[in-house]
Structure 1
Amino acid sequence: MFLVEQYKGALVTEQAVEMVERKGTGHPDQICDCVMDAISVALSRAYLQTFGTVLHHNIDKGLLAAGRVEKRFGGGEVVEPMELTIGDRATFSFEGKEIPVQEIALAAAKEWIGKNLRNVDPERHLEYRFKLAPGSQELTDIFARAGEVRGANDTSAAVGYYPLSPTEKTVLSLEHELNSERFKKLFPETGEDVKVMGLRRRDELDLTVAMPLLAGSIESEREYFDRKEKVAQEMRRFLQAGLRHFSRIDLHYNTLDEPGRGLGGVYLTLLGTSAEDADSGQVGRGNRVNGVIPIARPIGTEAAAGKNPMSHVGKIYNILAHRMAREICNSVAGVQGAHVMLLSRIGDRVDRPHMANAQLVMEPGRRAAEVEKEVEEVFEREFAEINSFCLMLAKGAYPVS
């Protein structure tokens, strides 16, 4: 069922206050999301190579328990490694063949950590705990039923929107810059555990950034604050490009710091992530699938990371809703913004939603009713290509955080 209507709420850009958060590569929650989705992609690849189809799995339960380190200016030691729990359901055998699920999951986790966290050794700095089991008979049976398109394995709703606001774009781009290859070459003493919180008050943007410096690169408290100021200067230089959207941008960096307190007054990590000794992580507590945590926007409650890309609408519809909103804005004349809500009913084919609703922000003088047919055609086109879209999800073509 499709329903197209005029958006009647206040636009986020017209509200006096807007809050947007982004958790970066080394944040414990982001690590969990990315690792679990990497495992889903690896399992999907193995299932496709062996059986020509993606089998039942949901690797969407993960917990990164913080370890313990001893830090000092100039270095430190890992006293207790972090522990990563990898959990939920997977297919361990099919048509008489065994699938080495745990080995595939472990290799995928170590590969992601090795590629994205420069100072974390996936062999020495983490321990791995598995809580994976076969799925229930009814949910597994979805993959044995006839038909090219899978049935939804849950009754679930998702929402997406487009375009991003200038605040969202700025928060997202700043974290990407701080974890970029260019920035890490310029400031190799910075860690990957970045968090950016943006507060827009009317046309002024206030940014609070947390990003540790590496203990092994900082020999003293004085050097810490000297390097911190150079990093902050580079951030301010980067943010100058965004001033066309705001009357001013204020930056606050590592605001818990307090000179004169030694190690207690500076944000140092040994490995570049607070998961080494300060903060644990969990799947679903990080960014939404469009990369930000928008406090004043409609957001769904499903964690997309690690979910099955062929039948779990918590993943499929989450990403598809944002994709549809973007396509509507880019292809339908007169539409300035779109909110898309999708609802599945368990057992129904994923290309036949229980509801697909588009709420449109129209140009002045235009009405949603004028473009209803065109928007419905976008829905029809996207759902007609659902299998191709799901296969791209299975291959990791769309980021989930």
Structure 2
Amino acid sequence: MKNIKVSLSNSTPVLEQPVEYVERKGIGHPDSLIDGIVERASTDLSNAYADKTGMILHHNLDKGLIVGGSAKAVFGGGEITKPIEVIVAGRASNRYQDIEIPVNDIVINSAKNYLKENTRFLDLENEVRFSTKILEGSEDLKHIFGRSSEMPLANDTSFGIGFAPFSVTERLVLGTERMLNGKEYKDLVPAVGEDIKVMGIREDNRITLTIAAAFVSKFIGNADEYFTLKDRVKKDVESFVGKTEKGYEVEVVVNNGDNRESGSIYMTKSGLSCESGDDGSVGRGNRVNGLITPFRNMSLEAAAGKNPMNHIGKIYNVLANLIANDVIKLYPEIEECYVSLVSQIGRPIDDPRHLDIKLGAKDKKIVEKLGNKISGLAEEELANISYLTKEIVAGKHNMF
């Protein structure tokens, strides 16, 4: 038996608490953009390593920055007057025996491809500058990375956190951003840019969704059109909420900082706030489950860009969420599940120093009845942990 403890949670379930905050930074938010870029870079580099050497080599690309540019957005158009800068930093192996791996070229191409696929109105050749600051990793970490041929050894003493199920507020916040940034909605309302942030505030059964959405200037002819579009977004979200959740009073607020009298509105040339001063940094945005949840246990690890072989800051955060969701699916009498795993550097990743599972249930007897089964489930997940590397490289798990 691994170092696993299953116990009754002593905290009040989130749904029963009087207040809850939930945030989601959408795919076009600068923090999310740089998370996506470094994660794509890690994935592409992992595939390149495997193709050239038959294995994934040591790398961590979880230090990245988007430096916002300058722009002028006017009704019907605009221009980016100072390019956005994308900087990826980290450590990566550029050679294996006599095989060279063009790390910097791979990372730059990854960044360009990610932005091409996830933004619509950026001129990547003229409006974005790309650079890298990537060096070889330290010998001790590279040695740990390649020491075991059977089970990777943890390259850090760190922890991962997961929970399930999502609350109503969490589902609404995540669902609203995904709806507004979905292809179907973009086809219907192309003036809504990718930089969307949703903040959910629940007070008892009343939820306020405050949405910041960067509108695209080329689709807007004047102020009246802007406010008409803004009102449409509000009504579309209200319709989405009405179809999604019942029993809650939901208020939707869009671009609350607008001031019609002064002419201050949230309009951009590209649909991205990073065109004119807003910056982004890896790890400042959503957790692995796609949300920022201050009323829950959270890890502050930046999962995006970390290597998928033995970096606990990535693997354990994914695994914790998988275990928590499996517990909820298999045992409906469990109302809430929190999973925490902590590693020790150099220890096999299938053998955490400790794995803690806290269960929310009406009766302690439920936990006593299911404790061994849930512990066994977690142990089985740990025994199969190596499959996560393949799934992460295949893009089957979100990192933000």
Structure 1 and Structure 2 fold alike (TM over 0.5): yes
| Matching of residues 267-286 of structure 1 within 5 Å | 267-286=266-285
User: What's 2:387 paired with?
Assistant: 388
Is 2:289 the counterpart of 1:290?
Answer: yes
What code does the residue aligned with 1:296 have? Answer: F
8 Å Cα contact 2:73-2:269 kept in structure 1: yes
User: Could you say what secondary structure the match of 2:131 adopts?
Assistant: strand
For 1:133 and 1:397, the matched residues in 2 are separated by 28
Q: Secondary structure at the match of 1:21?
A: strand
Secondary structure in structure 1 of the residue aligned to 2:63: strand
Aligned to 1:256: 257
Among candidates 87, 90, 95, match of residue 88 of structure 1: 90
Displacement of 1:251 in angstroms is 0.6
**Residue deviations 1:341-394 (CA, integer Å, cap 9, x gap):** 100000001000000110011244743122121111111111111111122112
Distance 2:54 2:149 in 1: 15
User: How far, CA to CA, are the matches of 1:242 and 1:232 in structure 2?
Assistant: 15
Deviates most, 144-153 or 294-303: 144-153
Q: CA deviation at 1:241?
A: 1.6
Equivalent residues in 2 for 1:85-234 (5 A)? 85-234=87-236
Instruction: Give distance in 1, aligned partners of 2:169 and 2:32.
Output: 21
Contact 1:44/1:395, CA 8 A, preserved across alignment? no
* Residue deviations 1:232-283 (CA, integer Å, cap 9, x gap): 221211111234141x110110011111222xx1110001100000310000
Aligned CA RMSD, in angstroms, stands at 1.2
**Cα distance in 1 between the residues matched to 2:132 and 2:332:** 50
Q: Distance in 1 between matches of 2:341 and 2:251?
A: 38
Q: For residues 77 and 147 of structure 1, what CA distance do their matches in structure 2 show?
A: 53
342-351 vs 386-395, which moves further: 386-395
2:270 alignment partner AA: L
Distance 1:175 1:278 in 2: 22
Task: Please tell me whether the aligned partners of residues 59 and 93 of structure 2 are also in contact (alpha carbons under 8 angstroms).
Answer: yes
User: Paired residues, what number?
Assistant: 398
Of residues 326-335 and 281-290 in structure 1, the stretch that sits farther from structure 2 once superposed is: 326-335
Change (3 A) 1:70 1:19: same
Q: 3-state SS of the aligned residue for 2:86?
A: strand
Show the 5 A alignment for 1:284-323: 284-323=283-322
Query: Quick one: which amino acid aligns to residue 399 of structure 1?
Result: N
For the 8 Å contact 2:84–2:275, the answer to whether it is kept is: yes
User: 5+ unaligned residues in a row in structure 1: which ranges?
Assistant: none
In the alignment, structure 2 segments of 5+ residues that lack a partner are none
Kindly indicate whether residue 18 of structure 2 is the aligned counterpart of residue 19 of structure 1. Answer: no
Shift of 1:284: 0.5
CA offsets 1:82-129 (integer angstroms, 9 cap, x no match): 001100100100021000111111111111100110111222221012
Which secondary structure does the structure 2 equivalent of 1:46 belong to? helix
- Tell me the TM-score normalised to structure 2 length: 0.97
1:307-364 C-alpha deviation (Å, 9 max, x unpaired): 0111100000011101111112222463222100100000001000000110011244
Partners of 2:67 and 2:277 within 8 A in 1: no
Give the match's secondary structure for 1:339.
strand
User: Which residue number in structure 2 is paired with residue 34 of structure 1?
Assistant: 36
Tell me if the contact between 1:20 and 1:293 (Cα under 8 Å) persists in the aligned partners: yes
Dislocated runs of 4+, deviation >6 Å: none
What displacement does 1:161 show? 0.4
Q: For the residues of structure 1 that align with 2:181 and 2:238, how far apart are their CA atoms? A: 16
SS of match in other structure, 2:358: strand
Give the secondary structure class of the aligned counterpart of 1:76. strand
